[in-house]
């Protein structure tokens, strides 16, 4: 293995800037048909804020009643709407779209792609109120877990025979174990 530090090729101009992007996640309304799929999207939007999430819809069709209502309830918002996206004709990947504004069509495969259905791309984010709500939920869960772990079940302090059994701690741990199943 070569331990040299990689260097920029001398025959290429230096880049003006280099930016590390998160993952680009492309979805369609058919990917978000159930409550679990929507909840997983909310989870991913919260835990992976550097990733970019897009929903592609057919032009003039929108999200659909179910998805639109769940967006508002789940705390998701779209921050940007772009047009002129088409299914990439040479890709085997699911939800692979390419943006081809009319003045950029140069190649034969571009012309072939724009003969298909046009899509709109919506950039999806969590609303600030939802981020704050999830922050509170996860902070509360972590606090309860730490407090529960710190609560001893058997304590050596003055009492009957010098040892007390904390029934509340036992009940709490049994409830948590039962709910986790």
Does one domain contain both 57 and 81? yes
Q: How many CA atoms lie within 13 A of 78 on its CB side?
A: 17
Q: What is the pLDDT along the chain (181 residues), one digit of tens a residue?
A: 556 777 777 887 777 777 778 899 999 999 999 999 999 999 999 999 999 999 999 998 888 888 888 888 999 998 999 999 999 877 788 889 999 998 888 888 888 888 989 999 999 999 999 999 999 988 887 777 766 666 666 666 666 666 667 777 777 778 877 887 7
CA dist 171 and 5 (Å) reads 58
Task: Determine the structural domain holding residue 81 and report its residue range.
Answer: 24-133
Does one domain contain both 155 and 105? no
Strand duo 97-99 + 119-126: pairing: unpaired
Does one domain contain both 139 and 57? no
Tokens of 103: 């003045």
Does one domain contain both 118 and 152? no
Q: Domain total for the chain?
A: 2
Residue 19 lies in a domain: no
CA dist 91 and 26 (Å) reads 14
CA dist 166 and 173 (Å) reads 11
pLDDT at residue 27, rounded to an integer: 95
- For the question of whether the overall pTM of this predicted structure is more than 0.85, the answer is no
């Amino acid at each position: 293995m070569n331990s040299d530090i990689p260097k920029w090729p001398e025959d290429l101009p230096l880049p003006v800037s280099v930016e590390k992007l998160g993952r680009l996640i492309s979805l369609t309304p058919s990917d978000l048909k159930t409550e679990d799929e929507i909840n997983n999207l909310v989870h991913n939007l919260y835990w992976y804020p550097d990733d970019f999430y897009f929903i592609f819809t057919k032009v003039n069709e929108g999200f659909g009643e179910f998805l639109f209502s769940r967006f508002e309830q789940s705390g998701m918002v779209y921050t940007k709407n772009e047009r002129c996206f088409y299914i990439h004709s040479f890709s085997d990947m699911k939800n692979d779209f390419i943006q081809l504004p009319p003045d950029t069509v140069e190649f034969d495969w571009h012309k072939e792609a724009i003969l298909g259905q046009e899509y709109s791309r919506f950039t999806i984010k969590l609303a600030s109120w939802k981020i704050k709500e999830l922050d509170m939920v996860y902070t509360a869960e972590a606090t309860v877990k730490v407090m529960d772990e710190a609560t001893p079940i058997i304590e050596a302090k003055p009492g009957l025979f010098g040892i007390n059994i904390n029934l509340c701690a036992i009940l709490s741990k049994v409830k948590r174990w039962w709910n986790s199943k």
